[in-house]
Structure formats: C-alpha cells, structure tokens
Structure 1
Amino acid sequence: MKLIYIKSTITPKDYSVVREILKKERGEKLAPFVYKLSKLDSLEKYLNKENINYEVYQENFNKSDKKAPAKSKSKAQELKKAYQDFAKNQKLKKELSIGKIRPALVISNNAQNEFDDQIIVAPLTSEPKEVSKERPFTVLIKVGKGNGLEKVSKILLNRVQTIDIEKRLRDYIGRASPEIVKKSQGALKIVFD
C-alpha cells in the first residue's frame, strides 16, 4: 500500500475525479488530501495530466511484508504526524472559538470547581430539531423559576467538555432542579457505561 499526498489546491471538478478514481481503485481517504491505495497508476496519470502537485510515500509495512526503505518509512511517518498535528490544531481552534454563547450545565464536582482552573460542562441547545429528538443521553429542561433559561432546551450529556474557567465561562444564569440533576446523572451513566 502507498500513501499519496495531494499538495496542490484542486478544483471541485478535480476532486470529483479523484474521488471516482479512489472508488474504482478501492482507495481510502486517511486525511484531507491524503489517500491510501494499492495501485496508484490511474490516479498518478490523472494528477500528472492536470499538473497537480503530489507526493507518494510508502506506507509502514507489517512484519510479514518486505521492509520499506528507511527514507520512505520516515516520510510516511512524517506525513502521518503532520496530519495528526493538523487535526489537533483544528480541534484546538474549534474548542477555542466560542461562536455563539450557549448555556451549559456544570457537571464537575464542587471540589474541582473550587480548586481547578477548568470545569466539566454539558452544553445546552434550544434548536427545535434537537429539542424534539428523544435520546437517552439528553435531558429536556423547560423554562423554569431559577434556571435562567429563556427557551426549552436539551442538555447534551454526550458532548461533555472541559473548559477553562477564565477563558470560556461567562455569567451564572441559574440552577438546575434536583430532578434535572438526577436525570442528567442517569444520562451520564449511559454515556460512560
């Protein structure tokens, strides 16, 4: 198996052709613009014809395979590491970008909340499409006295996050009822079971 990394920016038309070739050759997309194939002939032919810049790497071999040349093996590892770094950076950007401000239920215990600079929360959504869905890992929370909500919402206990108190935590808006806390604990058991 070989890895191919398409370095040039490609048009939607070129991307469609690449996808068709991958489908035909039973190739696998590993990362953005990184593909794994056993036969590269047709893909390389197309990329060369369209003057699309690319690199080919030898995938790490299993023990039963012949040993890959050291340079190729390290190139494949470099490519894999570069993608992992890219993915981590994208995840970090997503985590740091607040987008819209949304309420969340604090689910970490009081000791962590008092002594740590981070807390664990479950975000809430008031999107009608999400609120109408019945799922065992979400809890419906209605507008009520003391909870500070303006709309009926769902607590998304399948999307718990650790957030930085100084950077991400905003204002206290209210308190969940003991019934909601109990339901949330049950949903968390389902998520982590």
Structure 2
Amino acid sequence: MTPQQRRDELLDTGEQLFGEHPFDEVAMEDIAARAHVSRALMYHYFPTKGEFFAAIWKRAHDRLMGTVRMVATESVRAAVATGLGAHLDFYRAHAALVFIANRSTIATDPAVRGPIAEDMTALCDRILDACDASGHARELAAAALAGWVAFVREVALEWVLYERISREETMELAMAVLDATVGSRVDLAAAPARSG
C-alpha cells in the first residue's frame, strides 16, 4: 500500500468512526485499532486528533468544492442556487462531520476552520468575479457574502441537525438573504462574466 493509499484508508476509517460516535469519544487508538495499524503509524500520518479530523473534513469539503462551478449559460444567482443546493446535499450526507466541525470541542480549532475559510473565500471570489464586481462595490459585496456564508451555515445546521425547517425553506431563506445583501451591490441576474 502506498503512503497515500494508507492515508486515505485511515481517513475512511476515521470518517466512519466519527459518523458513529461523538468526536470526544473517539481516540486515536480506536482509529488505529479499527484500521489495523499501530498507534505509531497513526501518529506518523496525523500528529493530533484535531489534525486528523481536519484532514477528513477537508477531504470531504474538497470533493464538494470540486462540484461547485459557475455555469456560463445561466445567471450568477442561478449558479449560486445550484452551488447552495450542492452544499445542502453535502451537509445532509455528512451530518455527523458537519456537527463535529461546527458544534463540538474541535469546531474552533484553526486546523478545522482554516482550510474551510480559505475555500469559502475562494468561492466568494468566484461569485464576485462572475458578477464582474470591482472597486468599492466589490468590497461591499464581499462583506455581504462573508455574512451570507455565515448565515447559510447556521440555517443549514438548523435544517440538518434539528429538522425544524425543510430543505426548501433553507434554500428560500438563504436566497432571500443573498438577494437582500449581495444583490443590492452587484447584478446577480447577469450571466457570469467568467466561468470557474
């Protein structure tokens, strides 16, 4: 087995365990035992449990980000709605990981928050590029998008974790906030200026 294959196997095992148990109840030794490797090998690949979970979360999130694209034949708003739908489906499919990344003791760890914040910044930049936003309007829209991302995360958690609202209501709320904030600064109805 190559080092990358071994790493992927450990990540698969960890994802499975974190799907079955709360973060604080899973020890690195548990993961090593389930993967049939030594503790030393586990720590060779991942020095801390936080870094290990961060790698699982980043891998899952990278897969999601690989599916989110601006399509040149539709409006920026429609492309954002499509991307939002993909994010919601990701949240539903990875509910246990989403809970850990947002509501556990590891949620504020820079190893977990950092890569996702970078991905969200890149996604916001793609939206602003697609709107051909520049100057101060871009700065205002960027601030609005940052707030929108935080809003979407909280509303999506409300839907996935507590099921007090539906997926459709989650979409409606998120798109209404996008229109009211970002849409007041850039033209979301325009076709994307650049694909990405």
Structure with the greater alpha carbon radius of gyration: 1
Task: Identify, as 1 or 2, the structure richer in strand.
Answer: 1
**TM-score scaled to structure 2, two decimals?**
0.22
**TM-score scaled to structure 1, two decimals?**
0.22
